[in-house]
Chain A
């Protein structure tokens, strides 16, 4: 056994199926796997279940879920969580899957960016359009500064105490952190491409008052360049048409919202369509690697429709094959929830 493969029992966390993505399709897969007696663990970069439904359109009604003439993204998530609850799924939020490898015992091992190691005989990739990651400024040479003097989120307030801070953005995150950090920084300059803000009006009013009082500055324009050495920022330049302004700063926070990208899954040696969709068969929704399945918006096959209902169907069929892999010595019995006392026991209704 190679050192990379050795995992102590404490670190190694085993389950039947690892599901990458806790959106609607991943959640319904928990249900279909659960009916077959399989346990699932879901890993998601977001801090809660629901995927795009919860992150992009929690309040917007969806009209094409069978049996639910109108349901909001959040309500659909809540109902799927309720439906999956009898099967006690485990969730690992705020974690991004990084590496996937096959072990000598035939099972798969997934390592997350939080350093957790998960082991299972079957993997379902239900990652939608990919993982949500902060959009970065389109400025050359950002890397040396990242995590040292350039941040895309506030993890520790102490990173900014007593600093000359520049915040870029015009939404709630930018305005909320401007007002929150203002009392503890040495100086603060807010930068936005226009003088209109989409943030809550009371935050905008409080920011404008702070500018009027001389407690902070507002500069209209776009981030143009960073200056500094070895990741230690000393100044940023802001461009507004032909005009360029230099601001001395040793901390920079940018809030450009979230981008959706495939991320490390692209490096898992699975066959892809257009470099973005994972190719699967339409019998089992299995990828080019047996034991790894792709369901929902992330997969591709002839005739594919990116609809939530398609993902539900795909999960149900993939679960059948997952059972054959995870329980090679058992026979798969097809049963209905209306008549099977075994299924009703698993559903905790009998």
Chain B
């Protein structure tokens, strides 16, 4: 069973079960981790911003141009920033660790 760990804005950590084919944003929203995902995953709102554990940055598919463009709008951008709506859950992500970015 593939799981991921999320650090929420209040600093608490939770390990949660993934669902194959779901966007990570949808999982984070469903588990009420503080991710809103206002636009539903069409790269319009950037409200699903996360930081990926440095060990995992290169193990994820690289962001597409349109994700990079949306990341440009975030004053809280860091080298390991991603929009979680662009990460599709699968068994290979077992052990992924992410942090919910500040509002």
B-contacting residues of A (Cβ < 8 Å)?
Answer: 52, 56-57, 60, 129, 135-138, 169-171, 192-194, 196, 198, 222-223, 254, 256-257, 260, 274
Contact = CB atoms under 8 A, between A and B. Distances in A.
21 contacts: A52-B39, A56-B44, A56-B45, A135-B74, A137-B75, A138-B75, A138-B76, A170-B69, A170-B72, A171-B72, A192-B72, A194-B72, A196-B68, A198-B65, A198-B69, A198-B72, A222-B77, A256-B74, A257-B73, A260-B47, A274-B32
A145 to B, nearest CB: 15
Contacts of B15: none
The 8 residue pairs across chains A and B that have the minimum distance between CB atoms: A257-B73, A198-B69, A56-B44, A170-B72, A138-B75, A137-B75, A256-B75, A129-B38
B85 interface: no
A277 B44 CA distance: 21
Main DSSP-derived SS at the B contact region: loop
A42 to B, nearest CB: 21
Contacts of A129: 36, 38
A136 B75 CA distance: 7
A135 B73 contact: yes
Contact of A193 (B38, B39, B42, B77): B77
A257 B76 contact: no
A79 B55 CA distance: 50
B45 to A, nearest CB: 6
A242 to B, nearest CB: 12
A56 B39 contact: yes
Contacts of B97: none
Main DSSP-derived SS at the A contact region: loop
A293 B46 CA distance: 29
A135 B72 contact: no
Given A56-B39, A129-B36, A260 B73 contact: no
B102 A138 contact: yes
Contact of B75 (A135, A192, A196): A135
B76 to A, nearest CB: 5
Nearest to A274: B32
Contacts of B72: 169-171, 192-194, 198
A248 to B, nearest CB: 22
Contact of B45 (A136, A193, A260): A260
Contacts of A256: 73-75
Contacts of A57: 39, 42, 44
Contacts of B76: 138
A169 B32 CA distance: 31
Contacts of B36: 129
Nearest to B39: A56
Nearest to A168: B75
A240 to B, nearest CB: 11
Interface string B18-34: 00000000000000100
